[in-house]
Amino acid sequence: MKVFFDERQLGHKPEVYYRGGAPMPHPEQPERAILIRDMLIEHGFPISAPADFGTDPIKAVHDPAYVDFFSDAYERFLKEAPEGALGIPTRHPGTRRGRCPKDINGAMGWWMTDTSTPLTENTYEAIYWSAQTAISAAKDVMDGARASYGLSRPPGHHAMTDCANGFCFYNNACIAAHHMRAKWGKVALLDVDVHTGNGSLDIFYDRGDVFFCSLHPDPAVYPTFYLGYADETGEGDGLGASLNEVLNMGDGETEVMEALDRGISAIQDFGAEALVVSLGFDMAADDPLAAVEVYAEGFAEMARRIAAMGLPTVLIQEGGYLGPSLRANAEAFLTTFRKEIGG
């Protein structure tokens, strides 16, 4: 199984964000990807640099103006910001009536929903190559590989059609899934990150050609809030093509595997011909953002059940932060998945 990764993804280095009104060290750090990359090298996974597909595949799922905003946003911020300011949005339009202003602070609030997606010197380069990593993994599977892994960082599944959210800028998994529609009539996106794939839900909610399933705790009490309730099943052409498997805070591996099995059954009933997995390791019991309790063997069992679906599969990295077991969990899932698919 080939791995795609680009060193330029390490350039985004956020310092702080605000949680519950308090400043916190930002958990989405480059070391996450370095740790997983080094583990993969030790296990003999071939790692390739992604190709450059440009912005068209990104704009296929995102508002083009939103995509373009990030290309020079940090430089614009520096020109207007006071000495020592951080590129954190501080103004938000709420209902989003109106239009994007010329002022960079207003524009940041227009395109960025919270404080977790600050602009840094190399943010655009990092998110651009994170998306190219996902597209390259998708292309590898479209060209005949049984499976491929995009070590995308920053992650993407909270990024909505036209706004950044929850550490995420471009929705790498949605970009990959839409790209795969050029070959397969029905594609499924399975999100096993602990947080609601709210961005993916937003992007595919009215589409019937991509089935979306997310496993996550109740958004009434756990971030990312707002989207991901069990009665949100899609609309228009997408009615019935969204499935939110809502867990309880503190659920263990039994409940998580039961939810995974229901999601797999729904994907099979949909008739998916190919699969994208938003792969988060933050379901770990000791993750810094922990909400449920999955351990290394649980991640290995997830890999077995997903591999047993027998679909051409693209794995796209999402969450999983610098807790004690991150490496072990990534190792358990990825080495097990490779073994189950035979290479």
Q: How far is CA 56 from the centre of its chain?
A: 19
> Does residue 94 have a pLDDT over 80?
no
Residue 57: closest CA among 177, 167, 222: 177
The pLDDT mean for the chain works out to 96
Residue 93: closest CA among 108, 103, 81: 108
**pLDDT of the residue at 343:** 85
Handedness of CA 32, 30, 194, 313 (dihedral sign): negative
> Does residue 177 have a pLDDT over 80?
yes
**pLDDT of the residue at 257:** 98
**Which domains does the chain carry?**
2-52+130-341 (3.40.800.20)
Compute the distance between CA of residue 204 and CA of residue 151 in angstroms, rounded to an integer: 22
> Does residue 142 have a pLDDT over 80?
yes
Give the pTM: 0.97
Q: What is the pLDDT of residues 25-37, one digit of tens each?
A: 999 999 999 999 9
Conformational region of residue 214, where left means phi above 0, alpha means psi within -120 to 50, and beta covers everything else: beta
Q: What is the pLDDT of residues 55-76, one digit of tens each?
A: 999 999 999 999 999 999 999 9
**pLDDT of the residue at 35:** 98
Catalytic amino acids?
158
Q: How many other CB atoms are there within 10 angstroms of residue 324's CB atom?
A: 12
**pLDDT of the residue at 63:** 98
Conformational region of residue 121, where left means phi above 0, alpha means psi within -120 to 50, and beta covers everything else: alpha
Share of residues in the chain with pLDDT > 90 (%): 94
